[in-house]
Structure 1
């Protein structure tokens, strides 16, 4: 059986709020069909009203459980990728309400399907005081298994000073963090018929860019919670040597980061969504098989569980190592 760490679901309270609000980012209905509405998803979807249909796996728990059974998935760790509740088109109050609705919805699903669905709570990071409170709610009241963090907040780094108390509280909570990007200014560069590149190219590029920035401004020297990076960390593992060279030419022994960059890279955990066996093999050689977890990106169109599984089976010959990737490392990280 497998534990899927990278999986997305829109809980009912979140859906209800978005449908009730007339906002540029959110959800809308057209007849019986539900659509996601975006600001940054490429001009191809702009031509169609900047929206795309919501697959049933996002909202239909029976469809999700059937998919899980078909793919030998014991449990999905669910998070929200899009519509992004931190988007600046929402007011700060709206953003906080949306995130609390997500977390409440995940808590309810976890109570109804305790052996199948586990929620990764979000934080209302546009309101740092509310975010500190939400860490406590996630850890103590809602029984969620971890925290889903964006790579940035509307272009601002997670290391901005007013968020330090939030991440101090995350340290104290002992919760593992799953990092996932959202649309950003690079999305605006996509041309006609290029919207598919947003998730395939812009997302992993954003992860690489923002995680390196956090390493170099000392964020991971100040905070020690466990981090799982989505989409196999973007290009981080490939560029680790090049990025690390920069530290050797900084003529300041007290400059951040405190350690060689490769050590931070080897501290992180990664999902195995690559679709390129040589890259997966090199990534495992770089950080070790015990720093990989199974993920699928279900129910987005990019999901191809069969290929992900076959890639792991081809690259990792040892049964015990494959079990670590598919199940036991996630079980230990997220205490499930």
Structure 2
């Protein structure tokens, strides 16, 4: 059996709000087909435009349950990736309303299917004071399993001083954080028929770039919460030595980060979404098998659960180690 910590679901209250909004980011419907509208995105199957069809797995619980049964998955830890409720296309007030809808929706579906669904709440980070209260609500009233954070905000980095109380609240409640990338200005460089490169290249590049920035800002020195990085951490594990070179050359011994980049990354967790066995072997050799959890990226087109499972079986021959990655580490991280 598997616990899938990286998959996406759009709860009904979130869908309802987005369909009523006339914004550059959101949802639209044509007949029975639901489309996500983006500023910067694309999927591997859509080569032009930012109006992307969403399959039933994003919204239909029964469709998801059948997929889980087919792939021996007994729990999905759901989060929202896109449409991104913190996008600059929304006002801060709209973002807060959308985030509330996501969190309430996840709590509802979890209550309906408590042995199947676990939800990762989002935070209205564009209104930090409200975000602190939402952390408390997620941990106490809604009892969600953790927090899903973007790798950056339209207004800047997560290490901004205004957000310190938010992350202190996450620490106080001992919640696990799952980072997820979104489009960035690199997507703007792509030609109209190259939008499929956004999830394939730009997203893992965004993770690598933004997490490296946070490391050098001392973000991971300041907080104790557990961190899960998707898409096997982008290229962070493969560039760890290179990223650390700058730290070795900093003249000020008190300048962040307090630890080496590799030591910081050894304290993070990574999902198994790679599709390249040599890369997975190198990643596990870099931080150890205990730092990996199973993920699929369902219900996006890039999802290929059979390959992810096959890669895991090929790269990790020890059954006890595979079981850690498949279920045990995730259960501990998200208190399942």
Q: Considering the TM-score relative to the shorter chain, is it more than 0.5?
A: yes
Q: Distance in 1 between matches of 2:76 and 2:32?
A: 26
- State whether residues 154 and 184 of structure 1, in contact with CA within 8 Å, keep that contact through their aligned partners in structure 2: no
The residue that corresponds to 2:165 in the other structure is 165
Paired positions, count = 335
Are residues 47 and 3 of structure 1, via their aligned partners in 2, closer, same or farther at CA, if it must alter by over 3 Å?
closer
The residue that corresponds to 2:62 in the other structure is 62
Are residues 335 and 190 of structure 1, via their aligned partners in 2, closer, same or farther at CA, if it must alter by over 3 Å?
same
The residue that corresponds to 2:199 in the other structure is 199
- State whether residues 42 and 187 of structure 1, in contact with CA within 8 Å, keep that contact through their aligned partners in structure 2: no
Q: Distance in 1 between matches of 2:88 and 2:155?
A: 10
Q: Distance in 2 between matches of 1:97 and 1:159?
A: 24
Unmatched 5+ stretches in structure 1 = none
How far residue 41 of structure 1 moved from its aligned partner, in angstroms, is: 2.1
For residues 14-33 of structure 1, the aligned pairs below 5 Å read: 14-33=14-33
The residue that corresponds to 1:298 in the other structure is 298
The residue that corresponds to 1:110 in the other structure is 110
Secondary structure in structure 2 of the residue aligned to 1:34: strand
How far residue 155 of structure 1 moved from its aligned partner, in angstroms, is: 5.7
Secondary structure in structure 2 of the residue aligned to 1:267: coil
RMSD: 1.3
Higher mean Cα deviation, 275-284 or 37-46?
37-46
- TM-score, normalization: structure 1? 0.98
Secondary structure in structure 2 of the residue aligned to 1:6: strand
Q: Distance in 2 between matches of 1:285 and 1:114?
A: 35
The residue that corresponds to 2:11 in the other structure is 11
Q: Distance in 2 between matches of 1:227 and 1:69?
A: 28
How far residue 244 of structure 1 moved from its aligned partner, in angstroms, is: 0.8
Q: Distance in 2 between matches of 1:186 and 1:173?
A: 35
CA offsets, 1:267-292, max 9 Å, x none?
00000100000000010001010100
Q: Distance in 2 between matches of 1:286 and 1:247?
A: 19
Q: Distance in 2 between matches of 1:42 and 1:33?
A: 17
CA offsets, 1:109-149, max 9 Å, x none?
00000000110000000000110001001100101001001
